[in-house]
């Protein structure tokens, strides 16, 4: 590369190129190195600190909740299940925001209990062996467990869930049963009505529960028998069925009894009006049979359903009180509702 021209003057182009290359190289060495360090998350030393430092990459850890706004819990810490039984796990597992088909189940002892998929649910199965095993349920980061006590059916018993049921003429009612232990086969159960004139009786082939159809006004008794178990309940046949419903969540559901958590709560009283007599709350009368528990009711207003009225209940003390609601329909229609505290 020539620095001078033929006439003796200096050729400035090579000098400019050399200086430019030197400046660019210096820039890359200084600022490029610093830029590289900044990319790695380093911090340059401040005035007064050591000028020599080591650049380190910042480590960040993010915790991801795999199950947002969902929950899973068993009804109790343990449950008694009969030998040689198959029980729908969803009957004692509460899920919120989770499909049971997505839940993973494991057992502590496969000789005592096992789990099988069945349609849209899972079944817990037992064999001949008695004993206790743990059922584990998990979904993402949510877990729950319950002890399964497998017991002999020699201890089994079956009872009507409530001491009385109401059915309207030409209406139907299915009295619920309390079956112990869970999964006990009640296919061999029999029912005997004290009067065949007041109701007609049939049995559900799938659940073995009784289905009663009201025929004639009055009171009768229904008795069940299975194995060593025998239980009876009263059946009231009325013209216009009266019901008491309790608020559960945001929905009123028909109930025969309640154990309130507080000293006041609301109930919804509903009734039929077969003959379009335009009943209202003035057609209802509320009374209490207090046995240790003192209860009273005050009228609040109409409910959203037709022929429905809200009452506010106040209770104090301990014991039982039976609330009776009568409808002045000329047929003696009424209902009973137990409060225990």
* Whole-number pLDDT of residue 69: 81
Same domain, residue pair 250 and 286: yes
What's the predicted TM-score (pTM) here? 0.73
* Whole-number pLDDT of residue 19: 59
* Whole-number pLDDT of residue 207: 95
Cis check for the bond before 205: say yes or no (omega within 30 of 0).
Answer: no
- Contact of 139 with 73, CB cutoff 8 Å: no
- CATH number, position 206: 2.60.40.1080
* Whole-number pLDDT of residue 35: 44
Q: Phi and psi dihedrals of 200, rounded to 5? A: -105, 145
* Whole-number pLDDT of residue 21: 62
| Percent of the chain whose pLDDT exceeds 90 | 76
* Whole-number pLDDT of residue 105: 98
Same domain, residue pair 253 and 335: yes
Q: Please give the torsion angle defined by the CA atoms of residues 326, 328, 330 and 334, in that order, rounded to the nearest 10 degrees.
A: -20
Domain boundary, last residue among 114, 135, 154: 154
Number of domain units in the chain: 4
171-180 per-position pLDDT tens digit: 999 999 999 9
Residue span of the structural domain in which 308 resides: 242-340
For residue 66, is it within any domain? no
* Whole-number pLDDT of residue 249: 82
For residue 24, is it within any domain? yes
* Whole-number pLDDT of residue 1: 53
* Whole-number pLDDT of residue 49: 43
Residues in the chain predicted with pLDDT less than 70, given as ranges, are 1-66
Using alpha carbons only, give the angle 331, 333, 334 rounded to the nearest 5 degrees: 155
């Amino acid at each position: 590369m020539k620095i001078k021209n033929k006439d003796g003057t200096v050729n400035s182009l090579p000098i400019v190129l050399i200086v430019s290359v030197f400046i660019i190289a210096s820039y890359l060495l200084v600022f490029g190195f610093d830029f590289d360090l900044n990319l790695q998350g380093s911090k340059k030393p401040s005035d007064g600190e050591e000028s020599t430092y080591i650049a380190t990459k910042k480590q960040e850890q993010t915790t991801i909740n795999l199950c947002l706004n969902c929950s899973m819990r068993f009804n109790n810490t343990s449950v008694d299940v009969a030998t040689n039984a198959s029980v729908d796990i969803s009957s004692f597992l509460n899920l919120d925001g989770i499909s049971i088909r997505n839940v993973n189940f494991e057992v502590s002892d496969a000789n005592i209990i096992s789990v099988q998929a069945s349609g849209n649910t899972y079944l817990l199965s037992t064999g001949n062996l008695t004993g206790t095993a743990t059922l584990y349920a998990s979904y993402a980061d949510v877990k729950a467990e319950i002890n399964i006590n497998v017991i002999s059916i020699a201890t089994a018993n079956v009872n009507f869930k409530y001491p009385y049921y109401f059915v309207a003429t030409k209406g139907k009612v299915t009295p619920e049963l309390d079956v112990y232990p869970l999964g006990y086969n009640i296919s061999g159960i029999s029912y005997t009505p004290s009067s065949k004139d007041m109701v007609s009786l049939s049995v559900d082939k799938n659940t073995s529960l009784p289905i009663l159809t009201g025929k004639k006004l009055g009171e009768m008794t229904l008795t069940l028998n299975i194995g060593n178990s025998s239980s009876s309940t009263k059946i009231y046949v009325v013209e216009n069925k009266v019901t008491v419903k309790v608020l559960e969540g945001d929905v009123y559901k028909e109930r025969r009894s309640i154990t309130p958590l507080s000293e006041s709560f609301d109930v919804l009283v509903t009734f039929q009006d077969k003959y379009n007599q335009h009943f209202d709350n003035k057609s209802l009368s509320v009374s209490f049979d207090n046995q240790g528990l003192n209860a009273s009711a005050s009228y609040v207003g109409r409910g959203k359903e037709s022929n429905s009225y809200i009452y506010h209940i106040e209770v104090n003390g301990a014991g039982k009180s039976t609330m009776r609601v009568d409808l002045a329909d000329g047929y003696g229609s009424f209902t009973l509702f137990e409060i225990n505290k």
